[in-house]
Amino acid sequence: MDSQESAKRMEEGRLYLPSDPEIMKKQFDCLEKLYDYNQTRPHDQELRARMLKDMFAELGEGCYIEPPLRSNWGGYHTHFGDHVYANFNLTLVDDGHIYVGSKTMIGPNVTIATAGHPIEPNLRYLEMQYNMDVHIGKNVWLGAGCVILPGVTIGDNTVIGAGSIVTKDIPAGVVAVGNPCRVLREVGEHDREYYYRDRKIDVPIPDVLSKLDKD
């Protein structure tokens, strides 16, 4: 399998060899940029913003990623909408494409993975790999320590509980938790009255989601 064929298969989600020299050279160039990003200092906010814009496939306005960021391709196959926030130790296995909608919040130690390896042992011995894109909607909250597996789609306005392992698609507007992650309930009236257990919401709730839907 030559470099051109491997690159084509990589983009199409077919089995390919990630150790192909041309693929690895391109990947290492991306990892050099990631290394520099992780060496920045807390006051280097403008520098970080410029670096992320150069590193990512797409990056909207007002995005913030707290170093250290771990990423197989340094964000090269990652697409963020506007005002996406990610806490410490976000891991992007972005050999395939990762799409994250605007206003999504990502807790610490979250992993979003697109890469997989065949169960068939002979193919795995040869270090074969495949990639399945991940789609995360707008205004999603991924709790600390979540793992999002290849090919998963998560709908808008959904909350994924801390430590969940998301193996299948999760619809919009729900709270989902567990390993494997399952829908616990819909976001509803209780959530519009209480923000934490018995603590009532004591501030006005603005209608901002209609604007997000238009973006």
Query: Which pair of structure tokens corresponds to residue 210?
Result: 């209609």
Spell out the residues 6+ positions from residue 129 whose beta carbon is closer than 8 angstroms to its own: 15, 16, 17, 18, 95, 115, 116, 117
Pairing mode of beta strands 194-196, 199-200: antiparallel
The answer, yes or no, to whether the previous bond of 42 is cis (omega within 30 of 0) is no
With contact defined as beta carbons under 8 Å apart, do 54 and 13 qualify? Answer: no
DSSP structure string for 112-147: EE-EE--SSHHHHHTT-BEE--EEE-TT-EE-TT-E
Which candidate in 77, 83, 97, 117 is catalytic? 117
Q: How far apart are CA 91 and CA 102, in angstroms?
A: 19
Interatomic CA distance for residues 2 and 93, integer angstroms: 23
117 is annotated as an active-site residue: yes
**Long-range contacts, stretch 111-114, CB < 8 angstroms, 24+ apart:** 111/146, 111/147, 111/148, 112/136, 112/148, 113/147, 113/148, 113/149, 113/150, 114/77, 114/150, 114/151
**Beta-bridge partner residues of 166:** 148
**Residues marked as catalytic:** 117
